[in-house]
Chains A and B, each alone.
Chain A
Amino acid sequence: MLGYEDIIFKNTLFSADSAEGSGTNTETGDVGSDKTYEEITDERLDKIEEQLGIGKENDAPAPEENTESSIGWYPDQFGEAAGSMGVGMLGVFLIVGIIMGATYAINAIISRISNRKKDAE
Chain B
Amino acid sequence: MEQLLKLFTPVKDLFVDNWMMLIMWLIGGTLIFLAIKYEMEPTLLLPIGFGTIIMNFPIVEGHVSEALGTLYNAGIANELFPLILFIGIGAMIDFGPLLSNPKLMIFGAAAQFGIFFTLCTASLFFPMKDAASIAIIGAADGPTSIMVAQTLESGYIGAITVAAYSYMALVPIIQPPIIKLLTTKKERLIRMTYKPAQVSKLTKVLFPITITLIACIFAPAASSLLGFLMFGNLIRECGVLESLSETAQKVLANLITIFLGITIAYNMTASQFLNPATLLILGLGLVAFVIDTAGGVLFAKLYNLFAKEKVNPMIGAAGISAFPMSGRIVHKMALKEDPQNFLLMHSIGVNVSGQIASVIAGSLILGFFAG
Q: Which residues of A contact B (CB under 8 A)?
A: 58-60, 62-64, 66-75, 77-78, 80-82, 84-85, 87-89, 91-100, 102-104, 106-107, 110, 114
Given the complex of chains A and B, what is the CA–CA distance between A107 and B353 in angstroms?
Answer: 17
The residue from A81, A93, A100 contacting B128, defined by CB atoms under 8 A apart: A81
The chain B residue with its CB closest to the CB of A113 is: B202
Given the complex of chains A and B, what is the CA–CA distance between A87 and B77 in angstroms?
Answer: 29
Given the complex of chains A and B, what is the CA–CA distance between A110 and B198 in angstroms?
Answer: 11
The residue from B109, B203, B271 contacting A110, defined by CB atoms under 8 A apart: B203
Cβ B267 vs Cβ A95 within 8 A: no
Q: Main SS of chain B's interface residues?
A: helix
Cβ B123 vs Cβ A67 within 8 A: no
Decide if B356 is an interface residue (CB 8 Å cutoff): yes
Decide if B171 is an interface residue (CB 8 Å cutoff): no
Decide if B161 is an interface residue (CB 8 Å cutoff): no
Decide if B234 is an interface residue (CB 8 Å cutoff): no
Residues of A within 8 A of B272 (CB): 63-64, 66-67
Q: Can you show 13 pairs from A to B with CB atoms below 8 A apart?
A: A63-B272, A64-B269, A69-B154, A73-B125, A74-B123, A87-B368, A88-B119, A92-B357, A92-B361, A103-B105, A104-B102, A106-B206, A110-B202
Cβ A73 vs Cβ B105 within 8 A: no
Q: A60, A88, A99 — which one has the most chain B CB atoms within 10 A of its CB? A: A99
Known: A64-B269, A74-B125. A85 touches B120 (CB 8 A): yes
Known: A63-B269, A66-B267. A92 touches B207 (CB 8 A): no
Cβ A74 vs Cβ B73 within 8 A: no
Cβ B368 vs Cβ A95 within 8 A: no
Cβ B210 vs Cβ A102 within 8 A: yes
Cβ B106 vs Cβ A97 within 8 A: yes
Cβ A82 vs Cβ B120 within 8 A: yes
Q: How far is the CB of B207 from chain A (nearest CB, A)?
A: 7
Known: A80-B123, A98-B218, A110-B203. A70 touches B277 (CB 8 A): yes
Q: Which 6 A-B pairs have the closest CB atoms?
A: A81-B123, A85-B116, A96-B109, A77-B123, A103-B102, A63-B269
Interface string of B255-298 (1 = CB under 8 A from A): 00000000000110101100111001000000000000000000
Cβ B277 vs Cβ A89 within 8 A: no
The chain A residue with its CB closest to the CB of B222 is: A95
Residues of A within 8 A of B214 (CB): 95, 98-99, 102
